[in-house]
């Protein structure tokens, strides 16, 4: 079985590994069809992801094909195509009992804590598989979109409420789409000219802000300020500045994660009575919402995939995805 192993930061190795075992109780043996490349994978390659332990098979945005299942454990059948919910939770801790498996006390994420999908096949719990008839490469983007959907469900914008998404990478784009599906008016801020152009052509936000210029001046020029700001850059300077974008009673949602302390002025925070939310991973309900929305044609993913590479090309081609001049929106690894 062909497997790509990230041996250490900056170095992949393509190798042959033993075929996975037959599925045990509650498991399915799946063949990997496509793997979406996300910011977490890029951080793993750079050596800036604090959780990963090397060597590791990365990849958690997955479309898989069912090969075999534990008889009687599921209605999944061989050849079914599924998106994978890559968060392995215990089911018994407080967060799991409260319906928040994304915050499980012993959470293990495929591609980070345990080996992920940059290989031809593996076994996965059947309840982590979400069957769909969507195009296979779209299923590899369901997890990414679920991150944005979860952030929107956390913030619960009212119909017609004005929200601002800061950062138009794939996660930010997902937030923007699902905020719009929830009925909000959506503005987007971004520093990359390529991504600003992508948003203008494919997202058509209510307002498009160039984050290379003064954000506070651009927001002040709007007819009404955003009352919810989704910060999706994972950049500490941008996250800190985001407090300044909100009017009194506004809500700031940190979707991006940074390994640093986020600081703010407490008197100013109290004066405006702001709310701060974090948003971590996604839940089964988020995956279901994303799949319904895609199946109903509410999001056109066809322009998103700007780069494709074969599994065998990953060691040589992957570093090019980090080049800002490559204008990557979404890269997908074709495995089978």
pLDDT at 221 over 80: yes
Distance between CA atoms of residues 190 and 331, nearest Å = 19
Q: Say whether both 69 and 188 belong to one domain.
A: no
Q: How many CB atoms lie within 10 A of CB 177?
A: 23
What domain range is 94 assigned to? 2-141+301-334
* Same domain, yes or no: 49 and 135: yes
Between CA 189 and CA 183 the distance in angstroms is 19
Looking at the structure, do residues 133 and 155 belong to the same domain, yes or no? Answer: no
Q: Is 17 helix (H, G, I), strand (E, B) or coil?
A: coil
Q: What is the pLDDT of residues 284-334, one digit of tens each?
A: 999 999 999 999 999 999 999 999 999 999 999 999 999 988 999 999 999
What are the beta bridge partners of residue 207? 187
What is residue 336's predicted lDDT score, i.e. its pLDDT? 86
Residues 223 and 266 in one domain: yes
Residue among 42, 73, 32 at smallest CA distance from 169: 42
Q: Are residues 77 and 121 in the same domain?
A: yes
Q: 253 with 233: CB under 8 angstroms?
A: no
Tell whether 122 and 182 lie within a shared domain.
no
Question: Do residues 103 and 172 share a domain?
Answer: no
**Chain segment 124-169, per-residue pLDDT in tens:** 999 999 999 999 999 999 999 999 999 999 999 999 999 999 999 9
CATH number reported for the structural domain that contains residue 231 in this entry: 3.40.50.720
Read off the pLDDT of each residue in 171-191 and give the average, rounded to a whole number.
98
Amino acid 92: pLDDT: 97
**Alpha carbon 184 to chain centroid distance?**
20
Tell me how far apart the alpha carbons of residues 299 and 103 are, in angstroms, rounded to a whole number. 27
Residue 212: CA count within 13 A, CB half-sphere: 6
pLDDT (tens digit per residue) in 77-130: 999 999 999 999 999 999 999 999 999 999 999 999 999 999 999 999 999 999
Extract the tokens encoding 317. Answer: 């081609």
Does residue 129 sit in the same domain as residue 160?
no
Number of domains in the chain: 2
In a domain, 296, yes or no: no
Which tokens is 45 given? 């390659």
- At residue 259, the pLDDT reads 86
Does 232 lie in the same domain as 163? yes
Q: What average pLDDT score do residues 268-280 get?
A: 97
pLDDT at position 85 is 98
pLDDT of res. 183: 98
Q: Interior CA angle at 282 toward 241 and 332, to 5°?
A: 90
Return the structure tokens found at 324: 């800002």
């Amino acid at each position: 079985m062909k497997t790509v192993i990230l041996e250490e930061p900056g170095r992949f190795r393509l190798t042959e590994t033993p075929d996975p075992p037959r599925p045990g109780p509650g498991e399915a043996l799946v063949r990997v069809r496509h793997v979406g490349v996300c910011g977490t994978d890029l951080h793993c390659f750079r050596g800036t992801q604090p959780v990963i332990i090397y060597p590791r098979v990365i990849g958690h945005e997955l479309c898989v094909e069912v090969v075999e299942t534990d008889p009687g454990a599921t209605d999944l059948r061989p050849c079914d195509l599924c998106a994978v919910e890559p968060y392995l939770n215990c089911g018994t801790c407080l967060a799991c009992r409260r319906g928040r498996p994304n915050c499980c006390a012993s959470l293990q994420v495929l591609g980070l804590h345990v080996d992920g999908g940059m290989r031809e096949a593996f076994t996965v719990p059947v309840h982590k598989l979400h069957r769909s008839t969507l195009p296979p490469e779209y299923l590899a983007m369901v997890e990414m979109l679920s991150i944005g959907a979860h952030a929107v469900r956390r913030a619960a914008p009212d119909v017609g409420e004005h929200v601002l998404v800061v950062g138009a990478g794939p996660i930010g784009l997902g937030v923007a789409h699902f905020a719009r599906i929830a009925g909000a008016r959506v503005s987007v801020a971004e520093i990359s000219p390529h991504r600003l152009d992508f948003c203008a052509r494919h997202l058509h936000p209510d307002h498009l802000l160039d984050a290379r210029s003064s954000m506070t001046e651009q927001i002040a020029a709007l007819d009404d300020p955003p009352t919810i700001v989704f910060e999706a850059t994972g950049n500490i300077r941008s996250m800190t500045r985001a407090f300044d974008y909100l009017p009194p009673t506004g809500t700031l949602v940190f979707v991006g994660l940074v390994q640093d302390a986020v600081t703010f002025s407490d008197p100013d925070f109290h004066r405006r009575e702001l709310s701060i939310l974090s948003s971590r991973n996604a839940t089964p309900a988020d995956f279901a919402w994303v799949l319904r929305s895609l199946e109903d044609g509410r999001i056109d993913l066809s322009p998103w995939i700007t780069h494709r590479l074969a599994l065998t090309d990953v060691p040589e081609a992957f570093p090019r995805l980090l080049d800002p001049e490559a204008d990557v929106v979404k890269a997908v690894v074709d495995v089978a």
